[in-house]
Structure formats: structure tokens, C-alpha cells
Amino acid sequence: METPPELEVAAGDNDEIRIANREYDGEHIIAVDFGPVVGEPSLDIVDGIAIVVIERVSDEGGGLATASESSGSDQFEFAIPTDASDVTVNDGMLTITSEQS
């Protein structure tokens, strides 16, 4: 399974976004860490397109922000790979999973 190009571009444009590709027990997993965020990223899937919205942490004051202090949101949209069997957000990480054949 290939990493969606839209996520690769987002990671290239933002040093806080990290993408890892791993294989475990017959599964290929793409894990995306969006960096410091407020709360849990939201994930919606519409017609094969994943939409992830994150609230960025405020840089003011040097600490983590609350939801009311967030410095804005970022939205990422990408086509879900055709061989993906699952797309989820858990503990702030987006994971795209496919079964190995």
C-alpha cells in the first residue's frame, strides 16, 4: 500500500507531521502523527475520501493549550488507498491498514 500523496505533501510542508510505514503480522500500516494537537483529531470518510481535522496547539505561553486556546485548525483530505481495510484515529494517530496478500 502506498502512502496517499496528499499526506506526503502535508508532511513535506510541516515538520511536525511524521509518517511511518510498518508491516506487522500480515498487515501493512501507515501511521501519521500530526504533532502537538488539542484533543483528538476528527475523521470523516465520504465517498472514499478521508477528511481529518486537527486543532493546533497554541504557541503562546509555552504550554499546551485548551480547546478554547487552540491556534486554529488544519484540515487534510486524501483518497483512501483502494487496498486499505481500515482507517482510524486513535490516541492522536491516524492509521491506515491493509491486509497483506
**pTM for the full model?**
0.82
Q: What is the mean pLDDT of residues 11-19?
A: 89
Sort residue 90 into left (φ over 0), alpha (ψ -120 to 50) or beta. Answer: beta
Q: 85: which DSSP letter?
A: -
Q: Cβ of 92: how many Cβ atoms within 10 Å? A: 15
- Range(s) of the domain holding residue 72: 5-99
**Grid coordinates of 64:** 499546551
In the numeric block, the cell 504550554 is attached to 63
CATH number at residue 29: 2.60.40
Banded pLDDT at 78 (limits 50, 70, 90): very high
Q: What is the mean pLDDT of residues 10-30?
A: 91
